[in-house]
Structure 1
């Protein structure tokens, strides 16, 4: 029997985010990439996803922004979820500094256009051991170029103002796992650990020597974790 895992990507990511992971999965496990719908609110994105996904319970994984959207989906449609895997995301409010950065970015891109993700930004997303990994860097650049200016503006604009979903996740009666890199500058692990005692169904796995781009940095370990969480 084929085990299907529906996967939501992060900001400016597409199906290439998961390709390296797929090579480490058995033939009976299928990762199905689901692009983030183009809607004008998170709630409408979640509603559009419900219409795209199959009837019945599903295994859902979300990376970064996709993790936040996956959490919102699970909270709105809890009966649709079998298990929920949140990768490189804590389903939390954006910190003030990141909010200001996003607002500046949106204004700048609208006025001056978008010339692509910078090397500085890529470096900030990766563990230092991956700073010279051209396969990862090229993949990030390729996804960014393919999606382009309009997608960037849409994703940043629609998802900047968000609520704290982390505190609501313990109310769900489904297995939830956070998979986080130990060097992820966008995730505060202590915020996740504070809710672990609130539900026996919530767990946290951290990967050493890993930044934010976990599926690209640690595809074998990411795939192995998917097998243990969704199948075993």
Structure 2
């Protein structure tokens, strides 16, 4: 679009450059400007006074020569005045031309912008830009979607690892508890068996004590019976008091 407008504006710019070049070639050569117009005018007046003073003082110059010099000086002043006026007019013409060219360029640009071709071109570029924006947005959304899927997959894998680690810890803890319970059960069984053996030993000791006591009682009874048996076989003695 900008290229098309530039192609239509280029002839106007060429015309303007040619006009400026022609106006510069037509304008007379400008004298070197003094720092300010007042000193130049004062200098001119001074030079005029110095140039006229010898004429006025010289007795050899007649009225005709003096008149010629005066006319010549006047003509030079008129020429300089005309030259300055022409320069000022040329400057005004250049400025006016520049303003007109600028206005023409603006008008031409505005006309081109308001034309159907440019409107269609602008609409086409806007539509292309809108489509490109949609494509870019869709691509960005797709990238964000892929990133979200990757992130979700990563979190899921991380959660799975944490779950597996938790299950492993639970299994390990359960195994330790079961191992502790098994050791406790074995220890309890060992203590019960030891207690049972102690009870059996006490029962055996009691039975042995009762058996020894029974044997001792039987032996003691047998001794008593033996003693009693000897007493029965001994003759009886009778004592008679006063038989003589």
Normalised by the length of structure 2, the TM-score is 0.17
- Greater RCO between the two (CA within 8 Å, min separation 6)? 2
Q: Which has the higher strand share?
A: 1
Normalised by the length of structure 1, the TM-score is 0.17
| Greater radius of gyration (CA) | 2
